[in-house]
């Protein structure tokens, strides 16, 4: 811990750039648009003329954010020179799969929401009452603004300390350390391919060398129903590289210099993302998991995991939407050398919520769905088997992709398809959207498919 | 009646002997600092010197384990009995951001070994199938996470009658509660060792009360890791300086650990240097002939010697040669850095952390080790350090009434 690092301790996920857009320090950057922070910083300077103390917000998925439901807040502050603190604000995912609750997200131009020390309450209220605004947008924005204003107060308390030199020293050291560690990296070259259930093919030639990571997406097909912006592809590749090889490091400008991407015209560098595109929500996760799998293929360190879009169980009356991941990630490998799962997996709070609250649909049992995943050089991770009991008469909507299309692995597989069992009535294959009228005491089981293997 | 307050950390312990005139106003008679490894002998001679005639009847024990212990992979000692599908519940973890949840990519300890995890529907199997296996493996501690296994259940009582120590976690417990329960049981032996040392010094009849979330209690399972659930309203906000760790105490908030306490290690690389938590099993400080890396406490060795505090345990010559060796390497990269500058920067780091946790500029510095930084504060050039106030006299006895 250094003085400069400890300034940002209250932010779980953040990145700090200087006025040239260089990343000085960052933390927990999963789904942070690292590749677009330079253009974001310049955009905020140009359009909002941000001065120390000002905050701007942006969510343009074509150029800045990693999903329609992600806002990026930028605070300008001064430590002898102007710096920019960027934090993500993840809003609830609005349903993209053709349900009635489907809705396009509000797209914000770059907006100054704190200017000359004053919170622009009218502006925030107007944005929040827009028909396309997600629920509780105002509260979420004001909460994030509060956190940034507390940070400003801290900066003011510390006037007189020379912290910028410390930041530059950290950046310099990180470059040397990274360069040394890259020299020790095992050199490899591999080509990975994945046929996605939506029809597209994702292909990449991944190569490590002493000057960094090279990813060439040659062979990836043009956009049909998946659309991902280039900055999202870049950010996800960078994060995957860091997480897999250097999980304890934090990302800064030096990392960008060690990542060499070649992206031919394909669904990975779309200029304009259609509002109903699934990948406007999950594109980052898709690329991240795919690149991680390519590394797995080389090192055999971890299980593979198919980058599937999760399923959902929606209880419209209760305004509850449970995300059900396609696979459990590397829970089975909790003792592997990294010691944690780099994949999407069940999270603590979902389970806590289901166990602890008086949910109208209670989670009764939770099993890994053992031995149904893809087998290969790197096995897919296990699926989940969840059994719910209805506590009252409710309507539940189950939405899935993996129930109707088999998960395609690289070569090995395919793994199982997802299943839905209502009171022992096995429904397979299930349609993309299934509405269930549940009586009190009814039981439903959801079996997610598990991950595909790497050949 | 006399009582003893004992504050034990990884490197040192502080003992205070006090007389209980009333519970809200104890009178301090004597306080003493001693290295932790000679706790038993140190306590014995302390009591013989200062309370030869009056027997000490109670020990109020304040012992917060360092975060380090949470990172160890403790396994094998605790059996886990759960309903189907939940034996790996406590290992669930996730990296990155998923939905609106964020997680740190820190490894979680494996708290129970594979062989000692049992998923059952029928609790009768506890006695017929599981117990014989536990007996064979010599496992005596069980944590249950099952809707039908409660403290009053017959199966639970039968297992207790067979000599097992059982803790039943309510079925709808959070992940954190399950982990805490497992961890608490896993390190039960360590707590018992400490209790045994105290009893060895003060006699078997001594009553030992531990400080936990709800104040001082006899048995803290599963709350061994509680410190103070919240700092009382009438107490001033402060940075409490222990021998290894520092805590920020603010009224109405739980005590929080600050990262760069006296136990943190100074690490330097080409262009930068930082303080990191000490993960070594040989924790230091180097000035006391322990550890291999310079700890924050080592930067205050002059104060140790000047104040005559534990100075008999410091081998100055040996330390100086080690110090010179490490400092020389550091100065190659940072020729302008002086120990005095570094100490000020370290203290600034601690203050920044406290401010980040909501400290105001009125906060004071207290704790058994606070006096070590007093000379540094008096000479400080940093604008931030000039504002600091140190509580001249700190007594644990005042905590008894909290």
User: Which two structure tokens, joined as six digits, stand for A379?
Assistant: 């096995």
- Rounded Cα distance between A286 and A196, Å, is 10
Highest mean pLDDT among A142-151, A247-256, B32-41, B75-84: A142-151
Task: Give every CB contact of residue A259 below 8 A, 6+ residues apart in sequence.
Answer: A212, A213, A215, A234, A237, A238, A241
- Rounded Cα distance between A359 and A380, Å, is 31
* Three-class SS state of B120: coil
CA A105 from centroid of its chain's CA atoms: 17
Q: Which has the minimum average pLDDT: A82-91, A255-264, A337-346?
A: A337-346
Kindly tell me if the per-residue pLDDT of A98 is higher than 60. Answer: no
- Rounded Cα distance between A185 and A258, Å, is 13
DSSP string, A416-452: PPPEEEETTEEE-SPPSEEEEEE-TT-EEEEE---PP
A345: chain B residues, CB-CB within 8 Å = 92-94
Cross-chain residue pair B269–A176, CB shorter than 8 Å: yes
A238: chain B residues, CB-CB within 8 Å = none
pLDDT confidence bin for A422, thresholds 50/70/90: confident
pLDDT in the model for residue A104? 58
Whether A243 and chain B come into contact, CB under 8 Å, resolves to yes
Select from A9, A31, A158 the Cβ nearest to the Cβ of B96: A31
Q: Are A54 and A112 in contact (CB under 8 A)?
A: yes
- Average pLDDT of chain B is 79
Q: Is A422 exposed, middle or buried (CB count within 10 Å of its CB: 0-12, 13-18, 19+)? A: middle
Q: Are A328 and A449 in contact (CB under 8 A)?
A: no
| Ordered alpha helix ranges (H), B218-357 | 301-306, 316-333, 339-356
How does pLDDT run across A10-47, given as a tens digit for each residue?
Answer: 898 999 999 999 999 998 887 889 999 999 999 888 88
Spell out where A48-146 has E strands: 55-58, 70-78, 82-90, 111-115, 118-119
Answer with the residue of higher pLDDT: A413 or A75: A75
How does pLDDT run across A351-373, given as a tens digit for each residue?
Answer: 555 555 556 777 776 666 666 66
B171: chain A residues, CB-CB within 8 Å = 355
- Rounded Cα distance between B310 and B316, Å, is 12
> What average pLDDT does the segment A165-176 reach?
87
Region for B143 from its dihedrals, namely left if φ exceeds 0, alpha if ψ lies in -120 to 50, beta otherwise: beta
User: Which two structure tokens, joined as six digits, stand for A127?
Assistant: 């944005």
Highest mean pLDDT among B53-62, B182-191, B211-220, B237-246: B237-246
Q: Which has the minimum average pLDDT: A58-67, A148-157, A259-268?
A: A58-67
Cα distance between the two ends of chain B? 20
Distance from CA of A372 to the nearest CA of B (A): 16
How does pLDDT run across A200-253, given as a tens digit for each residue?
Answer: 788 999 988 888 889 999 999 998 877 889 999 999 999 888 877 777 788 999
Answer with the residue of higher pLDDT: A190 or B103: A190
User: Which two structure tokens, joined as six digits, stand for A399?
Assistant: 């939405």
pLDDT in the model for residue A332? 35
pLDDT confidence bin for A453, thresholds 50/70/90: low
pLDDT in the model for residue B365? 93
Q: What percent of chain A has pLDDT over 70?
A: 68
pLDDT in the model for residue B101? 28
- Rounded Cα distance between A339 and B256, Å, is 26
pLDDT in the model for residue B98? 29
Answer with the residue of higher pLDDT: B291 or B87: B291
Select from A7, A28, A385 the Cβ nearest to the Cβ of B352: A7
Task: Give every CB contact of residue B205 below 8 A, 6+ residues apart in sequence.
Answer: none
User: Which residue do the tokens 């739980």 mark?
Assistant: B254
Kindly tell me if the per-residue pLDDT of A389 is higher than 70. Answer: yes
- Average pLDDT of chain A is 76
pLDDT in the model for residue B222? 45
Q: Are B221 and B185 in contact (CB under 8 A)?
A: yes
Kindly tell me if the per-residue pLDDT of B94 is higher than 50. Answer: no
Cross-chain residue pair B108–A334, CB shorter than 8 Å: yes
Question: Does the predicted interface ipTM exceed a cut of 0.90?
Answer: no
Question: Which secondary-structure segment (H or E) carries B238?
Answer: strand B238-241
pLDDT in the model for residue A83? 95
pTM over 0.95: no
pLDDT in the model for residue B97? 29
- Rounded Cα distance between B183 and B191, Å, is 12
Kindly tell me if the per-residue pLDDT of B356 is higher than 60. Answer: yes
**Mutate which: B91, B95, B275, B382, vs A, most A CBs within 10 A:** B95
Q: Is B253 exposed, middle or buried (CB count within 10 Å of its CB: 0-12, 13-18, 19+)? A: middle
A352: chain B residues, CB-CB within 8 Å = 174-175
Spell out where A210-290 has E strands: 212-216, 259-262
């Amino acid at each position: 811990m250094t003085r400069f690092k400890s300034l940002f301790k209250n932010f779980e996920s953040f990145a700090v750039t200087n006025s040239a857009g260089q990343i000085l320090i960052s933390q927990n950057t999963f789904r942070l648009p690292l590749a677009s922070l330079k253009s974001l910083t310049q955009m905020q300077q140009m359009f909002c003329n941000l001065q120390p103390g000002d905050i701007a917000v942006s969510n343009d998925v074509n150029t800045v954010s990693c999903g329609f439901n992600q806002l990026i807040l930028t605070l300008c502050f001064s430590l002898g020179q102007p710096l920019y603190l960027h934090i993500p604000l993840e809003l609830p995912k609005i349903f993209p799969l053709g349900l009635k609750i489907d809705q396009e997200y509000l797209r914000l131009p770059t907006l100054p929401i704190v200017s000359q020390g004053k919170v622009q309450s009218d502006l925030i209220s107007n944005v929040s009452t827009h028909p396309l605004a997600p629920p509780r947008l105002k509260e979420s924005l004001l909460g994030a603004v509060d956190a940034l204003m507390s940070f400003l107060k801290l900066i003011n308390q510390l006037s007189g300390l020379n912290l910028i030199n410390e930041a530059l020293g950290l950046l310099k050291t990180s470059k040397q350390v990274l360069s040394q560690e890259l020299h020790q990296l095992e050199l490899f070259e591999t080509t990975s391919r994945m046929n996605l259930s939506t029809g597209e093919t994702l292909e990449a030639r991944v190569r490590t060398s002493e000057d960094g990571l090279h990813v060439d997406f040659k062979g990836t097909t043009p956009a049909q129903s998946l659309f991902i912006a280039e900055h999202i592809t870049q950010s996800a590749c960078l994060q995957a590289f860091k997480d897999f090889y250097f999980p304890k490091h934090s990302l800064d400008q030096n990392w960008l210099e060690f990542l060499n991407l070649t992206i031919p015209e394909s669904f990975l560098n779309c200029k304009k993302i259609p509002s109903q595109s699934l990948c406007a929500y999950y594109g980052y996760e898709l690329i991240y998991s795919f690149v991680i799998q390519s590394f797995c293929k080389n090192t055999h360190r971890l299980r593979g995991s198919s980058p599937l879009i999760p399923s959902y169980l929606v209880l419209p009356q209760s305004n509850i939407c449970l995300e059900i991941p396609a696979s459990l990630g590397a829970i089975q490998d909790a003792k592997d050398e990294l010691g944690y799962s780099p994949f999407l997996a069940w999270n603590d709070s979902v389970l806590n919520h289901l166990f602890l609250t008086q949910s109208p649909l209670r989670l009764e049992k939770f099993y890994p769905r053992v031995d149904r995943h893809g087998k290969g050089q790197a096995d897919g991770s296990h699926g989940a088997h969840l059994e719910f009991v209805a506590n009252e008469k409710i309507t539940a909507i189950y939405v899935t992709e993996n129930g109707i299309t088999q998960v395609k692995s690289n070569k090995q597989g395919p793994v199982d398809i997802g299943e839905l069992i209502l009171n022992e009535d096995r429904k397979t294959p299930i349609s993309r959207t299934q509405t269930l009228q549940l009586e009190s005491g009814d039981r439903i089981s959801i079996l997610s498919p598990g991950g595909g293997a790497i050949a | 009646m006399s009582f003893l307050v004992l504050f034990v950390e990884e490197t040192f312990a502080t003992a205070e002997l006090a007389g209980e005139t009333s519970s809200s106003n104890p009178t301090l008679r004597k306080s003493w600092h001693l290295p932790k490894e000679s706790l038993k002998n140190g306590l014995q001679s302390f009591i013989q010197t200062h309370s030869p005639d009056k027997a000490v009847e109670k020990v109020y024990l304040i012992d917060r384990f360092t975060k380090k212990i949470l990172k160890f992979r403790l396994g094998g000692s605790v059996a886990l009995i759960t309903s189907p599908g939940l034996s790996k519940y406590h290992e669930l973890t996730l990296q990155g951001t998923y939905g609106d949840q964020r997680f740190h990519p820190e490894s979680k300890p494996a708290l129970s070994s594979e062989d000692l995890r049992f998923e059952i529907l029928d609790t009768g199997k506890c006695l017929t199938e599981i117990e014989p296996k536990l007996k064979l493996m010599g496992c005596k501690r069980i944590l249950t996470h099952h809707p039908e296994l409660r403290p009053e259940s017959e199966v639970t009582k039968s297992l207790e009658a067979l000599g097992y120590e059982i803790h039943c976690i309510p079925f709808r417990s959070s992940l954190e509660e399950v982990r805490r329960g497992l961890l608490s049981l896993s390190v039960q032996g360590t707590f018992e060792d400490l209790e045994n040392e105290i009893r060895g010094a003060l006699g078997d009849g001594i009553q030992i009360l531990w400080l936990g979330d709800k104040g001082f209690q006899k048995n803290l399972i599963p709350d061994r890791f509680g410190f103070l659930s919240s700092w009382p309203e009438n107490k001033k906000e402060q940075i409490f300086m222990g021998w290894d760790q520092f805590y920020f105490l603010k009224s109405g908030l739980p005590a929080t650990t600050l990262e760069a306490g006296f136990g943190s290690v100074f690490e330097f690389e080409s262009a930068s240097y930082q303080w990191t938590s000490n993960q070594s099993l040989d924790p230091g400080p180097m000035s006391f002939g322990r550890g291999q890396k310079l700890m924050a406490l080592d930067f205050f060795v002059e104060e140790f010697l000047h104040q005559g505090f534990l100075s008999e345990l410091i081998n100055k010559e040996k330390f100086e040669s080690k110090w010179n060796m490490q400092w020389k390497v550091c100065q190659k990269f940072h020729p302008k850095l002086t120990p005095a500058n570094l100490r000020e920067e370290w203290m600034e780091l601690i203050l920044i952390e406290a401010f980040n946790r909501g400290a105001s500029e009125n906060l004071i510095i207290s704790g058994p080790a606070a006096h070590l930084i007093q000379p540094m504060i008096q000479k400080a050039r940093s604008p931030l350090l000039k504002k600091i106030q140190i509580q001249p006299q700190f007594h644990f006895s005042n905590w008894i009434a909290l």
